[in-house]
Chains A and B, each alone.
Chain A
């Protein structure tokens, strides 16, 4: 991993057109400003990981349960009548 030291208001550039600016450092929290082309999504890592994990989970959905879901739906609509 490349490690760089930066002070407040200093920047780093990644590739063509991604700039990360250190805006503020307060205690153990760092505020960053990110300028990136709109086609490059920028997410907090935890959110990104959580969404990816949820999509993987969805892809492993239990399609055998579909029959059970149909049954529940039918039962529910009968109960409503």
Chain B
């Protein structure tokens, strides 16, 4: 599958690398088919590209660049929806914003993305945790030290050509 995006360039990705969000994203039900691409090795962020709209994509990151210990409980209904046999199969990613005109990066810790590696189904879950910020600031030290995006790497599509 070929993705031609003004923002991130042209990529050829394998159909098998697709991740399906059957319910779309929260409030955006049509945003359901994505691939995750690595930006490059120098930034611990990945790019989640909507395959049906080349101009829609989101930076995603490992929760570890925002908080050291991100312990959340995935609601049972979400586990069922993802057909998640074991939490070991799950990867959690945080929808991340790179803000304009500066170097501020924030992540939505209240509504993470959970991807089941076994069937490549994903879901944006809404946690009943008002203490978790939707615009949590990146931890600069964690950001500087993080190696790539371990969670995203597990589901990354290998771009065939850049």
Which A residues contact B (CB, under 8 angstroms)? 38-39, 41, 43, 47-52, 54-55, 57-63, 65-66, 68-70, 72-74, 76-77, 80
- Additional 5 contacts, C-beta under 8 A, given A55-B25, A57-B97: A38-B80, A51-B26, A58-B108, A62-B99, A76-B143
Point out residues on B near A: beta carbons under 8 Å.
Answer: 7-8, 22-23, 25-28, 39, 42-43, 45, 56-59, 77, 80-81, 95-103, 105, 108, 110-111, 124, 126, 134-135, 140-141, 143-145
Chain A residue contacts of B105, Cβ below 8 A? 69
CA distance A51 to B129 in the complex (A): 13
What are 11 sample pairs from A and B whose C-beta atoms fall under 8 A apart? A39-B23, A43-B26, A51-B134, A52-B26, A52-B27, A58-B59, A58-B96, A69-B43, A69-B105, A76-B145, A80-B145
Partner of B98, one of A41, A43, A51, A62: A62
Q: Within the complex, what minimum Cβ distance (angstroms) separates A73 from chain B?
A: 5
Chain A residues positioned under 8 Å from B126 (CB to CB)? 41, 43, 47-48, 51
Contact A51 B110 (CB under 8 A): yes
What 7 pairs across the A-B complex have the smallest Cβ distances? Answer: A52-B27, A76-B144, A61-B98, A38-B77, A62-B100, A58-B97, A51-B111
A55 and B108 contact, CB distance less than 8 A: yes
Contacts A52-B28, A59-B56, A69-B103 given; does A80 touch B144 at CB 8 Å: yes
Give chain B residues whose Cβ lies under 8 Å from the Cβ of A63. Answer: 7-8, 98
Contact A70 B43 (CB under 8 A): yes
Q: Report Cα–Cα, A73/B98, bound state, in Å.
A: 15
A61–B105 alpha-carbon span in the complex (Å): 9
Residues of B within 8 A of A50 (CB): 110, 134
